Structure 1
Amino acid sequence: MSYWRERAASAIEQAISTINVNLENLSEQDKQQLKCVIDAAYPFRTRKNHPYQIWLDERQKAFERLGIINERLRRKSTASSIAIARDLTVPGQQSLF
């Protein structure tokens, strides 16, 4: 694990441990509170470049693990970006020819 990934994962875990909620059964309010606490725990100076990208990746993994964001939605958006990268049409996109 890289230095940036370890620091990001550690900061997220520390932020989660500060909240006194039942992680097995989160209400919408608990999910929103966890999101805010995790976002506030950003351990690096500026939100740009490689450390920020690693932070976003670790944040996404934590959100999926906690059930804050559905993993299925992430896969759907990834599939659309892959289609664009391969120069294929995206579902719902009109063809020029």
Structure 2
Amino acid sequence: LVSTGSTAGRIAAAGVPVTKVEELTGFPECLDGRVKTLHPRVHAGILADLRLDAHREQLAELGVEPFDLVVVNLYPFKETVASGASDDECVEQIDI
């Protein structure tokens, strides 16, 4: 189980083993948490097509573990914009 920031903290507090994404990437979260998972080690683990021998071989060569499942919680961007929120408030609801 790999997670970011406060979510990793909550998972650990519940007694579930978790790896912080920065431990996986070797790169700390930065820019107020805006950059966490934008890293080849994460993207390769998510995007690899494990049906393909070549992809499995490349992951092994790179030392990348594939992800079996990705769980995300989306911010309420549309609702925030519709509420008349400021541009700054709307920007905070953008995530990739």
- TM-score, L = length of structure 2: 0.26
- TM-score, L = length of structure 1: 0.26
Which structure has the highest helix share of the two? 1
